[in-house]
Structure 1
Amino acid sequence: MDIEEILRTLRFAGGDTAAIEVKSAAGGYPSTTLESLGALANTPGGGAIVFGLDERRGFTPTGVYDVQKLKQRLGNEAQDFTPHVRISISDAVVDSKPVVVAEVGECDAAFKPCTHVSGKSWVRSYDGDFQLSDLERQGFLSNRAAPHFDMAPVPGTSVADLEASAVAAWSDTVRREDPSGLGRFDDEDLLRHGGVVTGAGELTVAGLMMLGEYPQTWFSRLVVHVARVEPDGSFRNAKSLSGSIPRMLASAVDWVTQNVDYVMVSGPDGHLRDVPAFPVSVIRELVGNALVHRDLAPWSEGIAIHLRIYRDRLVITNPGGLYGLTVERLGREAISRSRNAKLVALGVNVSAPGGVRVVESLASGLIRVNAELDGQGLPRPTFVDTGIQFTAIVKATRHRAPRTPTTMVELIGAKQQQVLTALIEGGQVGVADLVERTGLSPTVVRRALTALREKRMATVVSGGRGRETTYEAT
């Protein structure tokens, strides 16, 4: 992994990413290296640890206390895992100071979780490394074989626990769209061949979750927990959404539209319009994916899907990682692979209240999500896969004023233009926020701000001792 590419990625993200961990290493061997080695080995695709950068100062180089000693200890610690952590170590130089990059290979899924001699294992989230609980360890163990948990029978259930109107609508759709295949069977055989009931007459997990009258009678935590997160970390309008998957999907979309902020955006015609901070169709697709692709293994039955609205982003998290593909391929190819094959097959012919299909039959949902966000000039979703948890992050639409007149743009350089555009879109923001929005280093951002202030195109809003300085466009 090229150091320049790493720096661009880190500065654009404004911090560590799911695949890149930064450690200073100027004063000695970082004490958290062990956890990062184990966590990245358990992360799909692996990742890299970069020694010799200071995250708090915009990833400026700090140097490494002793390059050879660091490499030797890294190699020794990699051998203390079962299986051994595969690492490739390379040297780099940033601003005349040494930097060490350790690329960590992903552990084979058949041997996960990669475990230290102490008995501990770690997993990487989008905001840090965490020690695996015994329950999460079961998640890795259950992934060692092809999953079929959606086809498991639910003891004590029968066709009487299905929602009659949902079954009728599903049957009509199947018979209309697949008349010579699944649709040729009578009602009883249709339910059996369609994977709704077992040969013994009990409902499958897939049948109960997709067409059941109230699945939470048996699975009380297979719900969607929603909440709006305030700046102080408190929750507002938190609740659990229950019912079948189609009903939870419709309820989640309704809740988002009622709790999301609306912002003014200037359209191509120059008129300002109020639009949701998060495109509703995008949220519908991502929530639907979480519902049908979540892990249904026994270890995850007590874990709800979480949907959180923050000031600047919406985060959807579900138990279970991707199956049969990587994050890099999401939204780029129309790939249909799922840990819950029968549940997905049912969802293709089931509509949520309002008439929208639960599952996109052509597996092109994320491609359409990217196209819509691209068309609105918004960043594409960020996806984080830890192997036992999957997270989708959508950035909020920000207030966007009309573009800066060309005559004014001609007065400033490219980097100053980037910072000015970020100020126009973000309102009152600080240097850290501008670094995140532009991908520029803090030093470059500060220089651009100085130049813009001299040209009276930006001004200081607030700041002072102990407070972050914020700026806005003038």
Structure 2
Amino acid sequence: MRLIDSCKFHGPAPDLPELPAVAIRELIANAIVHRDLSNASFGAFTQVVKAPSKLILSNPGGLWGITERQLGKTGYVRNPVLLDMCSAYWSSLDRGACTGIPAARQALAEAFLPEPYLRDKVVQFQAILTPLSILSAEQLQWLNEIPGAATLTAAQKHALVTMKSGKPMTNATYPGMFPMDSTQVRSELQELVQFGLAELKGTGRAVEYYYKMAGGEPLRKATSSGEKKHISMQEKQQGILGALARADRSLTKQQLQNETGLSTDQQKAAVPPSFGTPARSCLARALFA
């Protein structure tokens, strides 16, 4: 590495980019060829903004003829003439539609980085990339030793490393590191609780998630193919009773959801009013109250 004053430093540390070049290239290409070219966007430009903690790519015009859920899953060309023009100079565009976002997602996953946060803002479309610190070999080995690690998202893996160092995660700090909506934040953090990898402390806005040093078996186990098994009725019932036994007191529906990852509907289905034992009958009455 060469500094302004010409001092040289030599060492074994690799020179790695913050973000994979493939992901940046593919999302810039998408921003250019899928921008709005109507009079409504006259004078607006495709922008690439490097913020301290993220890279923001935006183009004028929101999604047209497609939803956010369909991005990267269905062929979509907003400006076919512009695509043909750019393909002559940009070889990656010659692969056809529905290839850019999957290529970006794959490159980010291989770098242990979260997926791009794709957001339709009606008059503008944004793709946000988060360059996180690179995980060490020891951290990667530790993560790979976790049962079912293949089912965890990159964000969950980084969160586990952060929590293992003694720092808690919250519903506010999680999206600060990994851009996503509040629903996905709660889902991913509660999934770590459900897997027995994290524990929840506090209530309401003061809720914090900590690394769980030793937990029980997660309700949802990973298969060899990386898919998540369906939670059987017996597993749901055992999870609810286990949470009650550990707490040694009554729990609200929300507290049960935080402990087990089961929604209110799943709790009701697992504990019908006709359940047998007194403890379960008491729980059933609480759920159906």
TM-score (norm: length of structure 2): 0.48
Greater gyration radius: 1
Higher helix share: 2
Task: Output the TM-score relative to the length of structure 1.
Answer: 0.31
